[in-house]
């Protein structure tokens, strides 16, 4: 406990967690989390998009009662952000999915469990875990039905369907960092682990002793392949033919809240709404899929103005000011991915809690400096374009 407090004392913002994780994780695992598609143009666009907007604070406003309370789908959360779905996080942090879910539950923010997770969904759902689950749809109707039945039986209430993964992205940067899915045993992989003894013994070997070799647990209704294998290939096929009828099938089968993740075009937002979605997440997968794709922040306003359902957003968020700018453009909620993965890897549940506190403190401080007391008060009137021009967001 004291060791964790000491290690976290120098972590002052979410950027610091990335630096800390780089020194903690083996090269292939850090590479998997940090890498973006091809030349990283989308990754860069995600971060630089926030610079297109500036704040217009108001002075002499009583901000003695700032509150981050945010309602989403009828539930009150402690802040307007949550944890985005991230695959194989149990390989970067010991029991990573549980650590993230339990840390989020204690902080009263949502955590979306990934379909490419290595812990059975049944072990992560529940009041001390999460009721959000993200799925990549299997390629056949029978597989979709079976997976959704399992998700529902496990107690999840909010189903997130990711729609920006018809085929795997270019893997060249994973190859450069030594990552593959599944991981291939090799002398280089062995040496990468030895160079990070805290991760090797505290995460990897501890997992092997207590739970055996991790498997992809939640892509389908049944258990998938092991995450480390010399001869087994992971099957990414079968999704390229999925279409809007596939989403309509999900809507017929799923009785809970249905959220569509990976929307970047306003017309697709309309299609998702017409298919019965309860919300959408504007996302380019954190720059991991199509290099050169538009930053979600730069299309957020257009999508908000196109649909009447709650619009959420992820990709590139690192600061409280980033979150507030998204809220100012009409987002109802923000999801943050890599930073929480780094936090869990570096310091477990305490790291997750520390990350939540850091981001919450930035938002609360900036709200006071802007002259607003409630999350709902953050709107386009508190923002302008970087050249000082008015930010016009139609109602």
Whose CA is closest to 262, among 253, 252, 272?
272
Alpha helices in 243-337 (DSSP H): 244-253, 266-274, 297-304, 320-328
Is residue 91 classed exposed, middle or buried when 0-12, 13-18 and 19+ CB atoms within 10 A define those classes? buried
Separation CA 179–CA 173 (nearest Å) = 9
Separation CA 82–CA 310 (nearest Å) = 15
Q: Distances in Å between the alpha carbon of 188 and those of 14, 90, 196?
A: 30, 21, 13
Whose CA is closest to 348, among 2, 4, 3, 42?
4
* DSSP code at position 226: B
Residues 6+ apart with CB under 8 A from 208: none
Only one residue has tokens 């919300």, namely 279
Residue 389, phi then psi, degrees to nearest 5:
-70, 155
Residues 6+ apart with CB under 8 A from 235: none
Reduced to 3 states, what is the DSSP secondary structure of residue 330? Answer: coil
Separation CA 143–CA 339 (nearest Å) = 32
State CA 259 to chain mean position distance: 14
Whose CA is closest to 52, among 280, 243, 328?
328
Q: Distances in Å between the alpha carbon of 328 and those of 156, 320, 367, 383?
A: 30, 12, 11, 7
Active-site residues: which are they? 285
The CA angle 131-132-135, to the nearest 5 degrees, is 135
Q: Kindly state the tokens that stand for 105.
A: 């539950």
State CA 295 to chain mean position distance: 15
H or E segment at 81? Answer: strand 81-83
Q: What is the largest CA-CA distance in the chain?
A: 66
């Amino acid at each position: 406990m004291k060791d964790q407090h000491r290690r976290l004392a120098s972590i002052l913002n979410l950027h610091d967690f990335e630096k800390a994780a780089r020194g903690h994780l083996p090269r292939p695992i850090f590479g998997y989390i940090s890498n973006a598609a091809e030349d990283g143009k989308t990754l860069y666009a995600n971060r630089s998009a926030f610079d297109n907007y500036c704040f217009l604070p108001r002075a002499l406003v009583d901000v003695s009662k700032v509150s981050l309370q945010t309602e989403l789908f009828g539930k009150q959360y402690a802040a307007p952000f949550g944890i985005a779905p991230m695959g194989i996080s149990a390989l970067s942090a010991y029991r990573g999915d549980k650590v993230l879910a339990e840390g989020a539950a204690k902080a009263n923010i949502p955590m979306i469990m990934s379909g490419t997770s290595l812990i059975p969904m049944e072990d992560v759902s529940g009041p001390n875990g999460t009721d959000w689950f993200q799925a990549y749809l299997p390629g056949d109707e029978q597989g979709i039905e079976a997976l959704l039945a399992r998700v529902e039986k496990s107690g999840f209430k909010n189903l997130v369907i990711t729609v920006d993964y018809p085929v795997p992205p270019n893997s060249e940067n994973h190859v450069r960092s030594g990552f593959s899915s599944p991981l291939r045993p090799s002398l280089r992989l062995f040496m990468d682990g030895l160079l990070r003894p805290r991760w090797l013994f505290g995460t990897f070997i501890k997992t092997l002793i207590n739970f055996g070799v991790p498997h992809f647990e939640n892509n389908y209704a049944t258990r998938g392949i092991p995450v480390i294998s010399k001869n087994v290939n992971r099957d990414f096929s079968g999704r390229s033919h999925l279409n809007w009828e596939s989403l309509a099938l999900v809507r017929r089968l799923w009785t809970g809240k249905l959220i569509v993740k990976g929307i970047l075009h306003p017309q697709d937002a309309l299609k998702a709404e017409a298919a019965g979605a309860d919300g959408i997440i504007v996302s380019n997968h954190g720059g991991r899929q199509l290099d050169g794709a538009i930053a979600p922040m730069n299309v957020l306003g257009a999508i908000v103005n196109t649909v009447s359902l709650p619009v959420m957003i992820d990709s590139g968020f690192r600061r409280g000011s980033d979150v507030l700018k998204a809220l100012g453009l009409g987002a109802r909620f923000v999801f943050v991915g890599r930073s929480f993965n780094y936090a869990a890897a570096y310091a477990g549940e305490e790291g997750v809690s520390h990350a939540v506190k850091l981001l919450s403190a930035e938002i609360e401080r900036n709200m006071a400096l802007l002259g607003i007391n409630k999350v709902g008060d953050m709107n386009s009137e508190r923002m302008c374009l970087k050249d000082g021009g008015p930010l016009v967001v139609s109602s």
